[in-house]
Structure 1
């Protein structure tokens, strides 16, 4: 049973006139009659009673009406879905992220994509640090990853924001009321930091900043996420250098102070060149329109 046969059957059933049904389908009457007869042969029964004066549905024709309409409706839905996928209006996009930068950017991006393109499903994978995210994107396990910039040559990237390091101190710390903290003043402190083995760009940036200041930080404990890290600071386990967006995590026993030196981290969205789907391009377009730093980026 073919879709074209059902389309012809329904046109005749609606009009109860082969001539008007043929005109509605933009075809001549003989081919229409052939299509209906072909369907009747396939089903082994007559669907219409025909005479020189009238056309009427048989009992079998009446029974076929509802299923035929459902089939054509589903065919129309399938066609629309395929068209939407082709132009990037539907699809599944996986995004890896970690840290407070993503917490600030990702909700805005996801909400706008959901509002403008509800057929695109964004699947979010948390605690995927920058280097790990880049690897998963390159391997095709993720469509996007939040990464520090610049990123590995095999990937394309879109800059989203620039963050600065700040100092997180336990309340009552000797430096908690300072206007600025010089990194050299932290040389004798115990630190809490993101895990060394997880590919954290913030961890790498902190280590470089301390080395540039002439010391290696004494990391006494590690934490996989900003909230846990700042909880350790509040508990006086140690101090931490974190991105300024970590200030969104409000803890009463933590004081955030700017650094005297301007230590920056550029953050962007990375994707793999060979694996760009229409849905990925759609999300990229939304990102470019949403974040000022990305505006005008080729």
Structure 2
């Protein structure tokens, strides 16, 4: 049984005339009649009562007509789905993310993908530190990810955000009411920071910036994530250098103070494998290119 046989059968069943059905299908009547006879042979039943003047469906033909229409409709849906998948309009893309910078970017990208590619699902994984996200993308566990790295071996990177460092302090701290603060003013303070050795680019940039300002930060407590870190700041355990995107986490008793002068910046990039760009991944990357534009 072939789809073209079902198409011919439905045309004859709806027209109840072989000549009109053949014209509708842009074919001659003889091949259409042969298709119907072959279909009846395959099924082992007669689908039409024929005489020299009329064509009528048999009881079997009437039952078969409903099923034939459903099969042809399903085939059209499958055809459209396959073509859409070939254009990258249907599928799943796994996306890893790291830290608060991603929390700003994720909603923008997810909304744009939902509008422009409604058949594409973003499967979200995280939050992880940037090094872990890069590792998972490189290993093929994830299709793409947000990471605070300027480059990654074997991966494509596209800059999508520049996050400035700023100071987070308790609202009871003497620096909380300042319009800005110089890094060197923080030399005697106790700091809260992300763990060392976990691939936190925020910690590395913070420590490096303090060293360039002439002091080594005294880290009193480590925190595994941005929410915990800011909770410790709110409790007065210490101050912290965070990226400006951390302001999206709203906690009572935390004040954010800009750094004076040219604040250090953390590049946030979209990363993906060079050798494995599927059509659906290319489609999502195009949406990201239009949606996520880095600001100075």
Q: Structure 1 segments of 4 or more deviating over 4 A?
A: none
Structure 2's unaligned 5+ residue stretches are none
Single out whichever of 57-66 and 206-215 deviates more from structure 2.
Answer: 206-215
| Cα shift readout 1:171-214 (whole Å, capped 9, x = no counterpart) | 22232233322223323322212232432221221121122223
Structure-1 separation of matches of 2:131 and 2:158: 16
TM-score (norm 2): 0.94
Partner of 1:277: 278
Structure-2 separation of matches of 1:174 and 1:223: 23
Structure-2 separation of matches of 1:195 and 1:22: 75
Structure-2 separation of matches of 1:221 and 1:66: 71
Work out whether 1:26 is the aligned partner of 2:39: no
TM-score (norm 1): 0.93
Structure-1 separation of matches of 2:73 and 2:198: 50
RMSD: 1.6
SS across alignment from 2:160: strand
> Does the 8 Å contact 2:98/2:147 carry over to 1?
no
Partner of 1:243: 243
Tell me the matched-pair count: 294
Structure-1 separation of matches of 2:138 and 2:115: 28
| Cα shift readout 1:55-88 (whole Å, capped 9, x = no counterpart) | 1111110110111111111111111111100001
| Cα shift readout 1:271-296 (whole Å, capped 9, x = no counterpart) | 111111111111111112223339xx
SS across alignment from 2:177: coil
> Does the 8 Å contact 2:145/2:272 carry over to 1?
yes
Structure 1's unaligned 5+ residue stretches are none
> Does the 8 Å contact 1:127/1:224 carry over to 2?
no
Partner of 1:256: 256
| Cα shift readout 1:196-249 (whole Å, capped 9, x = no counterpart) | 243222122112112222333232322232222111100111111000111222
Structure-2 separation of matches of 1:31 and 1:129: 66
Structure-2 separation of matches of 1:156 and 1:54: 68
> Does the 8 Å contact 1:98/1:225 carry over to 2?
no
Structure-1 separation of matches of 2:223 and 2:123: 24
> Does the 8 Å contact 2:150/2:159 carry over to 1?
no
Single out whichever of 225-234 and 191-200 deviates more from structure 2.
Answer: 191-200
Alignment of 1:280-291 (within 5 A): 280-291=281-292
SS across alignment from 2:36: helix
Partner of 2:226: 226
Structure-1 separation of matches of 2:164 and 2:36: 72
